[in-house]
Amino acid sequence: MRTFEDRFIVTPYLFSCESFAYIDEPLYYWRKRKVSSSRKPRSELMEIVENLFIRQKQALMDKNLYSCYQDNLEVGKIDLIRCAIERNIVSNCSKQEKLFFASQILTKENREIVLKHRKQLQGKFGKFIICVCFLNSKWLLVKGKEWISRIRPNKINENAFD
């Protein structure tokens, strides 16, 4: 799972374009390897997510589009939170590290966003996130590792909210 570098670039480019075209076929393929460093936990991952969210929000505000796309931006952040959970909580790191990652994920803002959009989170993983955010439980998030792993075995980088 990458660290969202392309998401930092795409939004500013789209907003600076006068026009663009969409090609409905892949131009490259990204392979996931079991030994990839992109599967290892990263302590700064939620900081990256927060920075990306702030930059995208500012880009929308600069174009006076934030009120129109606020919900889309927030749902996109939930997907980034899912990625952080898959990478940092469902990993082979210590319980203390997982509790640290859980505290980064379960900020007041993130919990409010998840609970605001709970109707859109229909899958098992989505329901789990809602429960964790409602209870504000780092313990449940960390202990849910085995449950998450069973729901999503080897499904890194796919939408958990289907």
Torsion of CA 100, 103, 104, 110, to 10 degrees: 160
| Angstrom distance (rounded) from CA 46 to CA 81 | 8
pTM: 0.79
Please report, for the chain, the start and end positions of each structural domain, with discontinuous segments joined by +.
Answer: 42-151
Q: Give pLDDT tens digits for 88-129.
A: 888 888 889 999 999 999 999 999 999 999 999 988 888 899
Reduced to 3 states, what is the DSSP secondary structure of residue 44?
coil
Tokens at 59, concatenated: 């880009």
Please name the residue that has the structure tokens 């570098």. 5
Kindly report, residue by residue over 8-57, the tens digit of the pLDDT: 787 777 778 888 888 999 887 777 676 666 677 888 999 999 999 999 99
